[in-house]
């Protein structure tokens, strides 16, 4: 701790930080642009100038940039000094010289950091009366709008996009006051994190194009704290609604999970909520006999079926804990099945088993950033858990911070640290099925199929701990050398990390990865848990596996259905055709008496159901999701569905008095894995006199007129009986409880930069604690190493490797209209040599035949695919022809595919065919 | 008088080839080092000589070198970079050295690189200096053939490679850290200091960036010794310096003269005095980014401190003269256009302040100026002053502007009252 004096007041601060960061952490208002807590200082904008005095006798002082000056013990500074204020006024005047007067029509208006800082720095009247500099704008794709004329040249965009997120297609161009930030030519931004530009940009250069398409001011949005349903990371979000339509999603700060950043799937993939395809009302009957039924009829029919006996329920990894619980409680645990593929279910069981092991620790995203040696085994994190990929980029930079510390350069001196470290990175080893978007930070990469990677992992475990099982295969000398380097780096690291996941599709690889982590824990002395990040596919995959019984696989359910043992099956938010082979699903549906499907959008399963129940999207319901690390988080309802869709848990509850809290309380007592889950519910005890937390801002406008086109009388606001939030402007100040914080807003700070006012320190944790709770209790010792199993031998010429896509692997976001422009369709990628042998070129069709199935896929050729393997991408909602590591045969098929891999952002695509 | 920098230069013939150069005593310093001078010995001699950097700042060279980490724990890779990006308006002294006697620079580079134990040295050459490029290329090849570059130079165990890099242009590349970024293939934006290049420079390794003329002083110091070197100067600073004059003098040019020579001597004796019909009104003593001095300063000695005390800077030592028939406002406006265009665009005051200043000068010239504009110019003097901007470009630009507003206020006012420039073009 250091003591510094700011305008005569003494503060205790962290002397390693810079003055700007400490001023903001102390709640002081000091304007800035180019600095960011995650990206440090570069001293470009000069907006944060303060007066610094040598000592108490120094009356004159010197102007310094607060962001570039260390908060040394004994520092004396002044923010209010007249010369400093004058300088800051000069700077903001400069920045505004060419800035257009378009605030009234600018998307950023009202939540613009530049507006806030302009007021704060005291620039009111324009002295500059000459021509402004203007620029040409670019088309940057369906997600991000570009209005360069608003640019104030703070360099934040490129510093985030290139330096922080590893992008290569956005750059600062030209110089002096013509400096331009854009791509080399028009075209969509390639980075998976491009949407953060919208929040990084202090003004309206980069805007959310999906929001612009149906724009509303920040204060006119109804918002609630929500959790992204795009993957299993569980990033915290703030969705905003107006006129019954979800208008946008922005980041909601969480100190352990997403921090300041979201991925583009999470930010832009919300369009499915507004989809014209939405199941607005429940329906009964099949085919031409299908008819819409009223809410009451639907409830009666559903209850008749549920009470009829011999009913099974198929749960969903994309439905909330509460929805699954309601189904589970209704059909009974023995009749509740996990609605995921059997291969994934087996993997999730392993994860569940490992979740109690004290030698392992599931790291949060923030903890991942702290790791300084990483081994990724078989998971394409960029496409399955993108926010973690962004964190891994930061892990690789720990080496730079070490070098900087040794050279006496503070870690927040961003440019200096990068110039010092150049390309030196902490070790990251990527053992994957195909070239990934993280290859540029890898010290070494291995591309192989799951069986090949499993052998390497087994051998690595053995290298780390001689007590680990003997690997099945012997390795080549260079493989041994590589494993030796990996082992040394993992052992020598301050905080090593193993990343694996269900994405490999291989139970054996997951087990081998666990063995590596266990062996590493042993090799490191055994007294510290090793970070073991197991990525799972969907927002509530972990929740589902904690609820379903160990043997309750979908395969078993389908068998029972096929055998005619089931009178009715209730499928919760799930398309069975994406979870099991078509033949199996069809046979099961033929055998079942009645099929009930609850969902928000039509699927092949709802098409075939006898009763379709209209469910709500995440934004229209409150729900709990459990992320990859076992973190249970509540996602609050944002708005009321104004049609006949209701939350699944409400449809399914037996008693109409059952509440969300009640469901969780029951679960806590009956399901071991969910112990402690009720602790995450925001409690209304904090509310005074029954007041609730408002979802509408203090400036929410036009409420009395929203329905005026239909009815000039102001309708009653919908009542929220399920939560402690209200569809209202009135109520408790939500700023007291981060669990119900719908947005950030502070006096003089209208933009997202106001988040600093809600943190214990900038870049730190939310003052009232980060919401959510970790459910895994790790008190068990290891059950011992998994023994290598010999894989079942299948026949064929090629080993299949499943691939994933940011836009395509997730069922819901893929149905957002804007995402459609970036969607990747099914493909198989072949090595150039194999393609030549088969006589196929890019876009040709090949028939991939496995044991029982055969499917045609368009071909793309990727240079780094291992010969003898095929990399197969199957979009969500379809079931792949074969599993990971299975042998398949390939033959050229007639015709050519409507391949949609033009959107593939991979480094090794061979565009020209062969 | 000894002229260690220009003794071999005769622009009427090609520069000396290596044999002639050696015959004239060239590379003697390297042989002296090979005979048993340790890096620390060389460093001490350079420190003792009192050599100051000739790029403009006048920082003691030996002191600069002494910040480079040495010894077994020092990074193995270190670099010497020659700042040959001579782009200061009115400055053409390094060009003379490189075109006239390239081996002198190479000899100096070997001495400097050896002292800091750098195994690679880069020459960052202004792209337009094509004659210098050809001369240097030829000289580097000759030196390598002679065993003065490459591995194990003269059996010392010391190895050095020289890479000649021709710049793609931009004045800011003369700022040593922007130069390093450009050399790394990045945008030529300056870097934050600290850390200084001596600690984290090219590719993040300890690096010395020296001006061409600075390095050309080294062979003499090592060959003839500190005492000889210190005997060269007439004033406070040691050695000789290239001084140049441009403007309406009879024979503009560049001459090697001892420190302590008076300004009057340079202008009147070497440059031949003012052309007929022109009177000296003022001059920038060290290139485009120094403050104007007046005829009353003509008898000042050309020494760093003397010129500093007079309110300007010796900087590159190449003077730009303003005569009585040339509009000072136009001259400063021309400089402002240059500095505005050459701003890298990184920090706000420079990027957005200079273009405003430039526009005001255009308006003054075209009769659209107002009293308010002069106030804005004055406002920018402090706003773009030292310590306010990221590097020294904008403060450098404020030097001629600020001094012009002090000395030529009437001329500025005249532009307002006569709605344009009262001077006739000639």
Q: Are residues A78 and A226 in the same domain?
A: no
Confidence of residue B234 (pLDDT cuts 50, 70, 90): confident
Q: Are residues A819 and A897 in the same domain?
A: yes
Of A253, A274, A295, the one marking the end of a domain is A274
- Sequence-distant (≥ 6) Cβ neighbours of residue B180 within 8 angstroms: A419, B81, B191, B197, B201, B202, B207, B209
Nearest to B348 among A63, A94, A407 (CB): A94
Q: Is the pLDDT of residue A819 over 90?
A: yes
Nearest to B204 among A153, A413, A419 (CB): A419
DSSP A178: G
The answer, for B115 touching chain A at a CB cutoff of 8 Å, is no
Q: Are residues A137 and A205 in the same domain?
A: yes
Q: Provide the pLDDT for residue A781.
A: 76
Q: Which chain A residues contact residue B343 at CB under 8 A?
A: 175-177
Q: Is A110 exposed, middle or buried (0-12, 13-18, 19+ CB in 10 A)?
A: middle
Are the beta carbons of A127 and B390 separated by less than 8 Å?
no
Please say whether the dihedral angle defined by the alpha carbons of residues B186, B189, B194 and B199, taken in this order, is positive or negative: positive
Q: Are residues A138 and A65 in the same domain?
A: no
Of A249, A274, A299, the one marking the end of a domain is A274
Nearest to A44 among B346, B356, B359 (CB): B346
- 3-state class (DSSP) for residue A203: coil
Q: Which chain A residues contact residue B340 at CB under 8 A?
A: 176-177
Which CATH number fits the domain that encloses residue A868?
A: 2.40.40.20
Q: Is the pLDDT of residue A899 over 80?
A: no
Which CATH number fits the domain that encloses residue A248?
A: 2.20.25.90
Q: Provide the pLDDT for residue A688.
A: 65
d(CA A43, CA B387): 12
Q: Which chain B residues contact residue A42 at CB under 8 A?
A: 192
Q: Which chain A residues contact residue B356 at CB under 8 A?
A: 94, 97, 128, 130
Average pLDDT over residues A136-165: 98
Q: Are residues A812 and A905 in the same domain?
A: yes
d(CA A521, CA A529): 6
Are the beta carbons of B170 and A68 separated by less than 8 Å?
no
Q: Residues of chain A with pLDDT > 90: what percent?
A: 84
Domains identified in chain B and CATH numbers:
18-230 (3.40.50.11540), 240-323 (3.10.20.600), 328-417 (1.20.1440.230)
A506-543: pLDDT as tens digits: 999 999 999 999 999 999 998 899 999 999 999 999 99
Q: What does pLDDT average to over chain B? A: 95
Of A274, A299, A322, the one marking the end of a domain is A274
Confidence of residue A796 (pLDDT cuts 50, 70, 90): confident
Are the beta carbons of A407 and B199 separated by less than 8 Å?
yes
Q: Which of B59, B61, B67, B58 is nearest to B46 (CA)?
A: B61
For residue A420, what is the nearest residue in chain B, using CA coordinates?
B204
Q: Provide the pLDDT for residue A791.
A: 61
User: B286 and B308 in contact (C-beta within 8 Å)?
Assistant: no
The shortest C-alpha distance from B143 to chain A (Å) reads 32
What's this model's pTM, rounded to 2 decimal places?
0.96
How many beta-carbon pairs under 8 angstroms link A with B? 108
Lowest mean pLDDT: which of A703-717, B203-217, B380-394, B399-413? A703-717
Q: Which chain B residues contact residue A68 at CB under 8 A?
A: 192
A493-502: pLDDT as tens digits: 999 999 999 9
Q: Please check whether residue A384 lies inside any domain of the structure.
A: yes
Token pair 């590719």 is found at B203
Average pLDDT over residues A681-688: 65
Q: Are residues A77 and A145 in the same domain?
A: no
A454-481: pLDDT as tens digits: 999 999 999 999 999 998 888 999 999 9
* Residue A156 structure tokens: 């934040």
d(CA B287, CA B318): 5
A374-422: pLDDT as tens digits: 999 999 999 999 999 999 999 999 999 999 999 999 999 999 999 999 9
Question: Which of A91, A121, A175 has the most B C-beta neighbours within 10 Å, making it the best mutation to test the interface with B?
Answer: A175
Q: Provide the pLDDT for residue A795.
A: 66
Task: Tell me the longest C-alpha to C-alpha distance in chain A.
Answer: 92
Q: Is the pLDDT of residue A811 over 60?
A: yes
Average pLDDT over residues B362-381: 96
Q: Provide the pLDDT for residue A179.
A: 97
Are the beta carbons of B376 and A127 separated by less than 8 Å?
yes
Q: Are residues A150 and A57 in the same domain?
A: no
Token pair 């010290």 is found at A443
Are the beta carbons of B341 and A176 separated by less than 8 Å?
yes
Q: Provide the pLDDT for residue B425.
A: 67
Question: Which of B69, B181, B348 has the most A C-beta neighbours within 10 Å, making it the best mutation to test the interface with A?
Answer: B348
* Residue A489 structure tokens: 């780096």
User: B333 and B362 in contact (C-beta within 8 Å)?
Assistant: yes
Lowest mean pLDDT: which of A29-33, A251-255, B53-57, B185-189? B53-57
Confidence of residue A686 (pLDDT cuts 50, 70, 90): low
Q: Please check whether residue A313 lies inside any domain of the structure.
A: no
Q: Are residues A145 and A199 in the same domain?
A: yes
Q: Which chain B residues contact residue A413 at CB under 8 A?
A: 192
The answer, for B386 touching chain A at a CB cutoff of 8 Å, is no
Q: Which chain B residues contact residue A153 at CB under 8 A?
A: 345, 348, 351-352
Question: Which of A131, A176, A402 has the most B C-beta neighbours within 10 Å, making it the best mutation to test the interface with B?
Answer: A176
Strand partners, B212: none
Q: Report CA-CA distances (Å) from B421 to A64, A781, B340, B364, B424.
A: 39, 89, 21, 7, 8
A701-752: pLDDT as tens digits: 888 788 788 888 877 888 888 888 999 998 887 666 777 888 888 999 999 9
Q: Which chain A residues contact residue B345 at CB under 8 A?
A: 153, 172, 174-179
Q: Are residues A516 and A386 in the same domain?
A: yes
Q: Are residues A80 and A134 in the same domain?
A: no
Q: Please check whether residue A658 lies inside any domain of the structure.
A: no
Q: Provide the pLDDT for residue A898.
A: 64
Confidence of residue B220 (pLDDT cuts 50, 70, 90): very high
Nearest to A153 among B181, B345, B372 (CB): B345
Nearest to B345 among A91, A179, A424 (CB): A179
Are the beta carbons of A177 and B345 separated by less than 8 Å?
yes
Average pLDDT over residues A802-822: 94
Are the beta carbons of A94 and B340 separated by less than 8 Å?
no
B136-172: pLDDT as tens digits: 999 999 999 999 999 999 999 999 999 999 999 899 9
Q: Is the pLDDT of residue B366 over 50?
A: yes
Q: Provide the pLDDT for residue A734.
A: 66
Q: Which chain B residues contact residue A412 at CB under 8 A?
A: none
Confidence of residue B43 (pLDDT cuts 50, 70, 90): very high
Are the beta carbons of B379 and A90 separated by less than 8 Å?
yes
d(CA A30, CA A71): 15
Average pLDDT over residues A26-50: 97
Nearest to B195 among A68, A98, A416 (CB): A416
Question: Domain total for chain A?
Answer: 4
- 3-state class (DSSP) for residue A596: strand
- 3-state class (DSSP) for residue A432: strand
Q: Provide the pLDDT for residue B276.
A: 96
Nearest to A153 among B192, B351, B376 (CB): B351
The shortest C-alpha distance from B100 to chain A (Å) reads 34
d(CA A187, CA A533): 35
* Residue A49 structure tokens: 């100038």
Average pLDDT over residues A189-216: 97
- Residues of A near B (Cβ–Cβ under 8 Å) read 42-47, 49, 62-64, 68, 87, 90-91, 94-95, 97-98, 127-128, 130, 133, 153, 155, 172, 174-179, 403, 407-409, 413, 415-416, 419-422, 424
Q: Provide the pLDDT for residue A432.
A: 97
Which CATH number fits the domain that encloses residue A81?
A: 3.10.20.740
User: A512 and A377 in contact (C-beta within 8 Å)?
Assistant: yes
Confidence of residue B116 (pLDDT cuts 50, 70, 90): very high
For residue A409, what is the nearest residue in chain B, using CA coordinates?
B195
- Sequence-distant (≥ 6) Cβ neighbours of residue A669 within 8 angstroms: none
Are the beta carbons of A177 and B348 separated by less than 8 Å?
no
Confidence of residue A914 (pLDDT cuts 50, 70, 90): very low
Q: Which chain A residues contact residue B341 at CB under 8 A?
A: 176
Confidence of residue A692 (pLDDT cuts 50, 70, 90): confident
Nearest to B352 among A64, A175, A177 (CB): A177
Are the beta carbons of A153 and B348 separated by less than 8 Å?
yes
The answer, for B170 touching chain A at a CB cutoff of 8 Å, is yes
The shortest C-alpha distance from B28 to chain A (Å) reads 37
B371-383 vs B393-407: helix axis angle to the nearest 10? 140
Are the beta carbons of A155 and B346 separated by less than 8 Å?
yes
Q: Please check whether residue A302 lies inside any domain of the structure.
A: no
Helix residue ranges per DSSP H, A702-824: 817-820
Q: What does pLDDT average to over chain A? A: 93
Residue A377: CB atoms within 10 Å = 28
Are the beta carbons of B192 and A43 separated by less than 8 Å?
yes
Q: Which chain B residues contact residue A128 at CB under 8 A?
A: 356
Q: Please check whether residue A718 lies inside any domain of the structure.
A: no
The answer, for B355 touching chain A at a CB cutoff of 8 Å, is yes
A601-644: pLDDT as tens digits: 999 999 999 999 999 999 999 999 999 999 999 999 999 998 99
Higher pLDDT, A186 or A679: A186
Q: Provide the pLDDT for residue A852.
A: 77
Q: Please check whether residue A288 lies inside any domain of the structure.
A: no
B212-224 vs B39-49: helix axis angle to the nearest 10? 100
- 3-state class (DSSP) for residue A371: coil
Q: Are residues A135 and A91 in the same domain?
A: no
Q: Are residues A453 and A507 in the same domain?
A: yes
Higher pLDDT, B192 or B57: B192
Q: Provide the pLDDT for residue A913.
A: 42
Name the residue range of residue A892's domain: 798-913
Which CATH number fits the domain that encloses residue A383?
A: 3.40.228
How far is CA B164 from its chain centroid? 19
Q: Which chain B residues contact residue A175 at CB under 8 A?
A: 170, 187, 343-345
Q: Please check whether residue A750 lies inside any domain of the structure.
A: no
Lowest mean pLDDT: which of A315-319, B75-79, B183-187, B334-338? B75-79
Q: Which H or E element spans position A144?
A: strand A144-146
Q: Please check whether residue A768 lies inside any domain of the structure.
A: no
Q: Provide the pLDDT for residue A706.
A: 80
User: A487 and A460 in contact (C-beta within 8 Å)?
Assistant: yes
Question: Which of B75, B169, B200 has the most A C-beta neighbours within 10 Å, making it the best mutation to test the interface with A?
Answer: B200
């Amino acid at each position: 701790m250091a003591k510094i004096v700011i305008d005569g007041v003494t503060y205790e601060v962290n002397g390693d930080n810079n003055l700007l960061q400490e001023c903001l952490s102390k709640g002081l208002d000091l304007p800035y642009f180019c600095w960011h807590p995650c990206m440090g200082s570069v001293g470009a904008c000069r907006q944060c100038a303060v007066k610094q005095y040598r000592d108490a006798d120094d009356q004159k002082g010197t102007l310094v940039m607060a962001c570039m000056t260390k908060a040394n013990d004994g520092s004396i500074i002044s923010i209010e000094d007249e010369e400093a204020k004058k300088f800051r006024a000069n700077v903001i005047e400069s920045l505004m010289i060419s800035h257009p007067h378009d605030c009234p029509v600018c998307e950023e208006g009202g939540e613009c950091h530049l507006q806030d800082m302009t007021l704060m720095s005291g620039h009111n009247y324009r002295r500059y009366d000459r021509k402004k500099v203007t620029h040409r704008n670019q088309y940057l794709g369906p997600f991000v709008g570009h209005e360069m004329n608003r640019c104030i040249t703070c360099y934040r965009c490129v510093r985030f996009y290139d330096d922080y997120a590893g992008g290569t297609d956005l750059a600062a161009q030209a110089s002096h006051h013509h400096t331009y930030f854009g791509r080399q030519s028009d075209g969509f931004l390639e980075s998976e994190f491009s949407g953060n530009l919208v929040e990084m940009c202090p003004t309206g250069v980069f805007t959310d194009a999906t929001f612009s398409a149906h724009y509303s001011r920040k204060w006119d949005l109804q918002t609630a704290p929500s959790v992204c349903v795009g993957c299993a990371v569980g990033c915290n979000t703030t969705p905003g609604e107006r006129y019954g339509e979800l208008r946008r999603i922005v980041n909601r700060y969480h100190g352990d999970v997403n921090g300041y950043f979201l991925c583009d799937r999470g930010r832009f993939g919300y369009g499915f909520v507004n989809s014209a395809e939405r199941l607005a009302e429940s329906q009964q009957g099949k085919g031409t006999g299908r008819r819409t039924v009223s809410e009451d009829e639907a409830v009666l029919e559903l209850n008749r079926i549920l009470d009829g006996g011999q009913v099974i329920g198929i749960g969903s990894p994309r439905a909330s804990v509460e929805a699954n619980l309601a189904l589970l409680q209704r059909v009974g645990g023995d009749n509740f099945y996990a609605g995921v593929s059997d291969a994934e279910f087996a993997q999730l069981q392993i994860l569940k088993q490992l979740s109690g092991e004290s030698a392992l620790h599931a790291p949060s995203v923030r903890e991942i950033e702290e790791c300084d040696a990483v081994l990724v085994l078989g998971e394409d994190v960029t496409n399955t858990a993108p926010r973690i990929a962004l964190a891994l980029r930061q892990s690789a930079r720990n080496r730079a911070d070490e070098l900087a510390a040794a050279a006496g350069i503070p870690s927040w001196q961003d440019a200096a640290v990068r110039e010092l470290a150049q390309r030196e990175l902490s070790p990251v080893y990527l053992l994957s099925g195909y070239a990934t978007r993280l290859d540029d930070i890898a010290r070494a990469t291995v591309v192989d199929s799951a069986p090949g990677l499993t052998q390497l992992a087994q051998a690595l475990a053995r290298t780390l701990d001689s007590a680990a099982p003997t690997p099945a295969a012997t390795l080549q000398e260079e493989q041994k050398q590589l494993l030796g380097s990996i082992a040394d780096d993992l052992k020598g690291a301050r905080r090593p990390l193993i990343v694996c996941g269900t994405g490999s599709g291989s139970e054996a690889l997951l087990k081998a990865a666990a063995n590596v982590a266990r062996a590493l824990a042993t090799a490191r002395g055994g007294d510290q848990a090793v970070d073991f990040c197991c990525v799972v596919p969907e927002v509530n995959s972990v929740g589902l596996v904690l609820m379903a019984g160990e043997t309750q696989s979908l395969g078993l359910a389908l068998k029972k259905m096929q055998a005619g043992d089931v009178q009715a099956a209730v499928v919760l938010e799930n398309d069975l055709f994406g979870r099991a082979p078509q033949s199996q699903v069809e046979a099961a549906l033929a055998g079942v008496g009645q099929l009930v499907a609850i969902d928000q959008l039509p699927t092949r399963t709802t098409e075939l159901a006898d009763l379709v129940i209209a469910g709500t999207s995440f934004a229209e319901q409150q729900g709990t999701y459990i992320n990859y690390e076992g973190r249970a988080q509540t996602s609050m309802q944002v708005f009321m569905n104004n049609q006949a869709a209701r939350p699944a848990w409400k449809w399914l509850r037996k008693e109409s008095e059952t509440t969300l809290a009640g469901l969780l309380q029951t679960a806590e007592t009956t399901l071991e894995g969910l112990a402690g889950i009720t602790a995450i519910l925001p409690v209304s005890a904090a509310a005074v006199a029954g007041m609730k937390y408002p979802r509408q801002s203090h400036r929410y406008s036009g409420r009395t007129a929203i329905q005026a086109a239909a009815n000039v009388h102001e309708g009653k606001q919908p009542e929220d009986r399920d939560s402690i939030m209200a569809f209202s402007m009135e109520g408790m100040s939500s700023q007291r409880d981060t669990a119900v914080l719908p947005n950030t807003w502070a006096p003089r700070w209208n933009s997202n930069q106001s988040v600093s006012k809600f943190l214990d320190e900038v870049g730190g944790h939310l003052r009232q604690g980060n919401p959510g709770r970790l459910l895994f209790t790790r008190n068990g010792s290891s059950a011992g190493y998994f023994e290598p199993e010999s894989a079942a031998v299948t026949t064929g010429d090629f080993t299949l490797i499943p691939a994933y896509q940011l836009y395509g692997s997730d069922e819901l976001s893929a149905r957002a209209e804007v995402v459609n422009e970036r969607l990747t369709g099914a493909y198989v990628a072949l090595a150039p040599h194999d393609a030549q042998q088969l006589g196929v070129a890019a876009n040709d069709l090949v028939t991939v035949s496995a044991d029982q199935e055969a499917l045609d896929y368009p071909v793309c050729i990727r240079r780094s695919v291992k010969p003898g393997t095929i990399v197969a991408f199957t979009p969500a909602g379809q079931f792949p022809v074969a599993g990971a590591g299975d042998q398949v045969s390939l033959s050229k098929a007639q015709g050519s595919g409507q391949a949609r891999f033009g959107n593939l952002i991979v480094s090794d695509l061979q565009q020209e065919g062969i | 008088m000894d002229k260690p920098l220009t003794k071999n230069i005769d622009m009427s013939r090609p520069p000396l080839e290596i044999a002639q150069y050696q015959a004239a005593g060239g590379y003697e310093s390297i042989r002296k080092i090979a005979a048993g001078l340790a890096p620390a010995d060389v460093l001490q001699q350079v420190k003792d000589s009192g050599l100051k950097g000739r790029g403009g700042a006048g920082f003691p060279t030996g002191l600069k070198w002494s910040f480079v980490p040495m010894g077994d724990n020092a990074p193995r890779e270190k670099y010497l970079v020659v700042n040959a990006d001579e782009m200061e308006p009115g400055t053409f002294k390094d060009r003379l050295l490189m075109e006239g006697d390239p081996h002198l620079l190479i000899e100096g580079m070997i001495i400097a690189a050896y002292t800091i134990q750098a195994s690679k040295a880069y020459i960052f050459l202004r792209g337009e200096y094509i004659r210098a490029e050809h001369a240097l290329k030829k000289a580097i090849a000759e030196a390598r053939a002679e065993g003065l570059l490459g591995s194990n130079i003269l059996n010392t165990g010391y190895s050095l490679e020289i890479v000649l890099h021709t710049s793609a242009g931009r004045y800011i590349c003369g700022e040593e850290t922007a130069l390093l970024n450009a050399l790394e293939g990045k945008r030529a934006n300056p870097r934050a200091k600290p850390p200084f290049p001596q600690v984290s420079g090219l590719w993040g390794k300890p690096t010395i960036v020296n001006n061409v003329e600075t390095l050309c002083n080294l062979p003499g110091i090592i060959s003839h010794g500190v005492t000889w070197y210190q005997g060269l100067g007439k004033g406070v600073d040691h050695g000789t310096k290239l001084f140049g004059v441009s403007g309406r003098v009879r024979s503009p040019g560049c001459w090697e003269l001892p420190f302590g020579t008076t300004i009057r001597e340079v202008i009147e004796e070497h440059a031949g005095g003012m052309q007929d019909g022109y009177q000296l009104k003022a001059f920038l003593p060290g290139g485009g980014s120094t403050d104007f001095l007046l005829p009353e300063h003509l008898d000042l000695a050309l020494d760093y401190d003397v010129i500093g005390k007079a309110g300007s800077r010796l900087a590159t030592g190449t003077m730009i003269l303003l005569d009585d028939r040339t509009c000072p406002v136009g001259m400063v406006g021309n400089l402002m256009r240059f500095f505005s265009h050459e701003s890298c665009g990184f920090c706000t005051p420079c990027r957005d302040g200079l273009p405003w200043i430039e526009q005001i000068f255009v308006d003054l010239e075209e009769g659209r100026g107002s009293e308010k504009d002069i106030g804005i110019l004055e406002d920018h003097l402090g706003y773009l002053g030292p310590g306010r901007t990221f590097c020294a470009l904008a403060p450098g630009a404020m030097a001629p502007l600020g001094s012009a507003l002090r000395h030529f206020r009437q001329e500025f006012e005249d532009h307002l009252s006569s709605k344009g420039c009262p001077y006739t073009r000639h």
